């Protein structure tokens, strides 16, 4: 999620779930191929399985960007056909691509020809006054013909004019039924649903209804422990116990020390940790201590431990 997630966030999320597939925020193919912004591809080896999401609409350039992603070690290259921001529309990529399924198919073909890792697509159910009932199956048929085997569908339209990117994530109504109906139309496609999913109960219900995957964005960011800690056992059926929020904080300390040693700032990492104790006693003190202190010049692991002590104290007071 652009401006929210980054490699530090993914490192934390990977501590909470060994199995969940993690995605980068959208990285544009012009930035990589023309701008040479290869630093955008950097990640920690512990983050696997990890997908690189690309934004773009030029098949040749996307193929080159996919090669850069493959060389960097990503497990999957995903094409963004869902982002409605102005910035993205001006470059003809993101949700506006829902209007040109043939071009998306060309992009998929070019990327698949260039790399041997999975090439996948994330899309909307339509944009503007398109009729999702016809647009979505046509879009899926074309990209499936081009060899795309996995698609994540954000189950709402995007309005390219008149709604802000934020409104485009909440205002157009969700149509989960349409996504579920695609299950029968495209039995060979690996289909994941996205949009408005806030619990593992909901995720399990979609899987029970026949979908292959569930993508969770904002809830996983705001409340990572609730969403990710149970995912390995409940969704992936693994037996291994995952780290809980406290254990994840302790496991972040060496990572934080490394980051600081390389000249990084504490807040760059801890901003992703603020939601770790969401809904638990001490959560407010945790957030306050980190938000107020992490920007200080000498802030380091000691501040994180101080904040963690406040959580423990909060739990003791309740108990
Ligand atoms: C701040 C922010 C940035 C986002 N950036 C991206 C992005 O880079 N690529 C993408 O596919 N979706 C992006 N999204 C959309 C989410 O991936 C997701 O489709 C949307 O929020 C609906 O799912 P949710 O209700 O689980 O959050 C972003 C969402 C937010 C809140």
pLDDT tens for each residue of 118-163: 999 999 999 999 999 999 999 999 999 999 999 999 999 999 988 9
Our mutation pick for probing the ligand 1 site, out of 218, 223, 272, 275, counting the most ligand atoms within 8 A of Cβ, is 218
Instruction: Give me the percent of the chain exceeding a pLDDT of 90.
Output: 93
Q: Give the DSSP letter of residue 94.
A: G
pLDDT in tens, 54-76: 999 999 999 999 999 999 999 99
User: What does each C-alpha distance from 88 to 2, 44, 96, 261 come to in angstroms?
Assistant: 11, 27, 9, 35
Q: What is the pTM of this model?
A: 0.96
Query: What pLDDT is stored for residue 88 in this prediction?
Result: 58
Kindly list the structural domains of the chain, giving each domain's residue range(s) and its CATH number in brackets, ordered by start. 7-234 (3.20.20.70), 245-318 (1.20.120.1460)
The tokens for 72 are 């960097």
Instruction: Give me the percent of the chain exceeding a pLDDT of 70.
Output: 98
Residue nearest to atom 5 of ligand 1 (CA): 1
Q: Is 122 in the pocket of ligand 1 (CB under 6 A)?
A: yes
More confident residue, 90 or 191: 191
| 53 carries a ligand binding annotation | yes
Is pLDDT of 85 > 80?
Answer: no
The tokens for 294 are 């992490």
Rounded to an integer, what distance in angstroms lies between the CA atom of residue 232 and that of residue 244? 12
Ligand 1 atom closest to the CA of 25, numbered from 1: 8
Is pLDDT of 18 > 90?
Answer: yes
Given 83, 123, 229, 242, which residue is catalytic? 83
Residue 172: strand, helix, or coil: coil
The pLDDT-based confidence of 240 (bands split at 50, 70, 90) is confident
Contact 148, 120 (CB under 8 A): yes
Radius of gyration of the chain (CA): 20
Q: Is 82 in the pocket of ligand 1 (CB under 6 A)?
A: yes
Residue 249: strand, helix, or coil: helix
Rounded to an integer, what distance in angstroms lies between the CA atom of residue 228 and that of residue 162? 34
Task: State yes or no: is 83 an active-site residue.
Answer: yes
| 279 carries a ligand binding annotation | no
Q: Is 222 in the pocket of ligand 1 (CB under 6 A)?
A: no
């Amino acid at each position: 999620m652009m401006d929210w997630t980054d490699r530090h966030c993914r490192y934390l999320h990977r501590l909470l779930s060994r199995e969940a597939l993690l995605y980068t925020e959208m990285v544009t193919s012009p930035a990589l191929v023309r701008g040479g912004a290869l630093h955008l591809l950097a990640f920690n080896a512990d983050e696997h399985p990890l997908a690189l999401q690309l934004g773009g609409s030029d098949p040749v350039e996307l193929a080159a960007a996919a090669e850069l992603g493959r060389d960097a070690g990503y497990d999957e290259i995903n094409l963004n056909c869902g982002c409605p921001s102005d910035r993205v529309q001006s470059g003809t990529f993101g949700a506006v691509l829902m209007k040109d399924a043939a071009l998306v198919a060309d992009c998929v073909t070019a990327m698949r020809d260039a790399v041997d890792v999975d090439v996948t697509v994330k899309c909307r159910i339509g944009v503007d006054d398109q009729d999702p009932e016809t647009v979505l199956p046509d879009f899926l048929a074309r990209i499936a013909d081009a060899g795309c085997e996995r698609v994540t569908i954000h189950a709402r339209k995007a309005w390219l004019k008149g709604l802000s990117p934020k409104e485009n994530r909440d205002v157009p109504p969700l149509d989960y039924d349409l996504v579920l109906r695609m299950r029968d139309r495209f039995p060979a496609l690996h289909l994941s649903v996205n949009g408005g999913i806030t619990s593992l109960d909901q995720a399990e219900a979609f899987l029970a209804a026949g979908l292959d995957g569930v993508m969770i964005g904002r809830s996983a960011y705001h409340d990572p422990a609730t969403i990710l800690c149970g995912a390995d056992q409940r969704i992936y059926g693994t037996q291994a116990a995952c780290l809980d929020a406290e254990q994840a904080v302790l496991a972040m300390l060496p990572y934080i020390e490394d980051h600081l040693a390389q000249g990084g700032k504490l807040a760059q990492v801890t901003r992703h940790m603020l939601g770790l104790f969401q809904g638990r006693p001490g959560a407010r003190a945790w957030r306050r201590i980190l938000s107020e202190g992490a920007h200080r010049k000498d802030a380091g692991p000691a501040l994180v431990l101080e904040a963690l002590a406040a959580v423990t104290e909060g739990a003791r007071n309740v108990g």
